[in-house]
């Protein structure tokens, strides 16, 4: 069950939308649907604070482009070993020339291939490969790749999505972000105070139609 609530300063918190999915979908598959349903009710927010599950590079970009919404939430971490160990060259260390469709590595070498692809989460990505010849003799090879082929490949999102993700990650490090995101904590209190949690458990046992009725009734509770 997906619940949206207002969090304006010095104003009462009001539940503006409740969605009860009839089929299992990941949270990020629901973000755009929620925004469209809020649009139909003329209740689109300027900013929407969500947890990590509702955020990815494309959603940050499309939320702003399609609905004028600033999507606020922690992005998924970069789980590559270079980023996690903070001792190697992650994708952010590469300078990307989107017009020329090439990337320059930290050692100044230019990539040899640029290939659009689809990743295992069905996202559009670009696979950028460096030349084996350049990589094998590179003094930074050990902090760049552990590939047995001794050739570095980075995978990035399309330009607008990539840039939106980088901006979101940088903003998440700021104090302003922490203050903005702190407002989201209020929804947990609303759910608790309204007895909403007990309705969730009951609704799970109901048919799809009755689950919808259950959620509507819950919005009417004082």
The domain ranges of the chain are 2-75+172-220, 81-158
Q: Mean pLDDT throughout 72-79?
A: 88
For residue 194, is pLDDT > 70?
no
For residue 164, is pLDDT > 90?
yes
CA distances from residue 181 to 10, 17, 66, 72, 153 in whole angstroms, order as listed: 17, 19, 22, 7, 34
| 192: confidence class by pLDDT, cuts 50, 70, 90 | low
CA distances from residue 5 to 16, 38, 107, 190, 200 in whole angstroms, order as listed: 5, 11, 48, 8, 17
For residue 106, is pLDDT > 80?
yes
| 196: confidence class by pLDDT, cuts 50, 70, 90 | low
Nearest to 30 by CA among 18, 41, 40: 18
For residue 195, is pLDDT > 90?
no
Quote the pLDDT of residue 111. Answer: 97
């Amino acid at each position: 069950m997906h619940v949206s609530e207002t969090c304006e300063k010095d104003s009462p918190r009001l539940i503006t939308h409740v969605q009860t999915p009839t089929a299992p979908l990941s949270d990020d598959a629901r973000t755009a649907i929620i925004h469209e349903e809020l649009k139909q009710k003329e209740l689109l927010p300027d900013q929407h604070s969500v947890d990590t599950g509702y955020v990815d590079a494309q959603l940050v970009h499309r939320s702003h482009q399609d609905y004028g919404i600033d999507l606020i939430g922690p992005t998924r971490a970069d789980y590559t070993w270079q980023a996690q160990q903070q001792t190697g060259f992650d994708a952010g260390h590469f300078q990307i020339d989107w017009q020329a469709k090439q990337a320059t590595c930290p050692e100044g070498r230019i990539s040899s291939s640029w290939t659009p692809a689809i990743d295992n989460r069905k996202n559009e990505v670009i696979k950028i490969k460096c030349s084996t010849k350049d990589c094998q003799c590179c003094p930074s090879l050990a902090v760049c790749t552990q590939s047995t082929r001794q050739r570095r490949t980075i995978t990035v999102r399309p330009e607008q999505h990539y840039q939106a993700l980088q901006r979101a990650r940088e903003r998440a490090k700021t104090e302003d972000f922490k203050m903005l995101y702190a407002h989201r904590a209020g929804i947990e209190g609303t759910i608790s105070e309204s007895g909403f949690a007990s309705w969730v458990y009951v609704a799970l046992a109901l048919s799809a139609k009755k689950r919808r009725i259950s959620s509507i009734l819950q919005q009417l509770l004082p």
